Amino acid sequence: MVAEQFTAAAAQIEPVYHGKDATLEKTCQWIEKAGNQDVDVVVFPETFFPGYPYWRGSSVARWTELMVDLQKNSLSVEDDALEVLGEVIDEANCHVVLGTNERSERPGSETLYNSLFYFDRSGELVRRHRKLMPTHGERTIWGRGDPSTLDTHDTDIGRMGGLICYENHMTLPKGALAAMGEEIHPAVWPGFWEQHGHPGDKSKATDRSAIETCDQYPAMREYAFETQSFVISSSAYMSDDMLERVMDDVDFNIAAGGSMLINPAGIVKAGPAIGEETLLTAEFDRDERRATKAYFDSVGHYTRWDAVNLNIRDTELAPFESEQPDETPPTPSPATIEEIATEHDLPIDTIESIVDSLHSA
């Protein structure tokens, strides 16, 4: 049975930048903290593991060095680190959504993806989502995610979906998750910002006044109301000290935090938390969702599927397909069937039955 109340948390903490082992240790520590506070689900920011590539605009030579380092310090679904995380999560008894740079497990590939890893209370990795469309300069870092990873899964606190950064602005994927029955929406971001006229002109937020221009603030509130879901928006925070090793290469840094917890009516129950490490928490009640849906149900009484319909392609992308030879036996002509029947002194309908059996085998 799905719980009527649950506690959600956004783990707004800084990673040990490009440090796989140290980031793993810190992740485990904060999962333990979440467990000690009886949190039911905790969400870590976009590419928390092992940090967002704020150096993406560096020179080609330096970019290559940093990409190799990022590959070495990223996670894959086959990584031993997931076993370590699983044990800690099992002990903490909470669902964990981890933003990570993901290294492809496809043989021969070293491609990275901007991903969410979903762990259940037992610590099992139950699902992943790969960002469908990296934003702007991110396309030099990450590959495009499979359509098959746009999905939801059931938990004991509700059906969980999730999107990454500007995916939360993409109308059709939002509609897809709503149609899949999403109830809890982890949303992850690389920080919080002031926007100066257009999305390409941002600066790191210094206080809550950034909500006046940061597109993330209205987007998360609208997502909650539009889909009647509980939104756990987890945004990256990194101090200048943490970025010191690559500071000469950083030309874009908005890691101010900005995490929020929002109910299905679009009401911000906690945050945005700016400029600090914190485990931001809030209590949610399913009646908050019911009350909103009584008024506006986007996949029920307040929709018109006959007027607007959405097609979802959930196939997995693959670099090749094996072509199987056509082993279907040829169909003999009536004249050939007659010749065979005469040669073997058999009725024509017997030969026709044999041919039918061969084709249906």
Given the residues 46, 138, 183, 194, select the one marked as catalytic. 46
Residues 6+ apart with CB under 8 A from 139: none
The SS3 of residue 83 is helix
To the query of whether residue 28 is one of the catalytic residues in this protein, the response is no
Q: Look at strands 278-285 and 193-195 and give their pairing.
A: unpaired
In the block, which residue shows the tokens 């210094």? 206
The radius of gyration of the chain from alpha carbons, rounded to an integer in Å, stands at 26
Maximal C-alpha separation, the chain: 95
**CA 280, CA 261: separation in Å to the nearest integer?**
8
To the query of whether residue 165 is one of the catalytic residues in this protein, the response is yes
Q: Look at strands 95-103 and 41-43 and give their pairing.
A: parallel
State the burial class of residue 10 (Cβ atoms within 10 Å of its Cβ: 0-12, 13-18, 19+). Answer: buried
In the block, which residue shows the tokens 């606190």? 157
Given the residues 28, 94, 165, 214, select the one marked as catalytic. 165
Given the residues 20, 26, 131, 204, select the one marked as catalytic. 131
In single-letter form, the type of residue at position 15 comes to P
The SS3 of residue 7 is strand
In the block, which residue shows the tokens 């709503």? 178
**DSSP percent split of the chain into helix, strand, coil, nearest 5:** 35, 25, 45
**What would the two tokens of residue 230 be?**
């509980």
Residues 6+ apart with CB under 8 A from 331: 355, 359
With b for 16 or more beta-carbon neighbours within 10 A and e for fewer, the 34-67 pattern comes to bbeeebbbbbbbbbbbbbbbbbbebeeeebeebb
**CA 307, CA 160: separation in Å to the nearest integer?**
27
To the query of whether residue 46 is one of the catalytic residues in this protein, the response is yes
Catalytic residues: 46, 131, 165
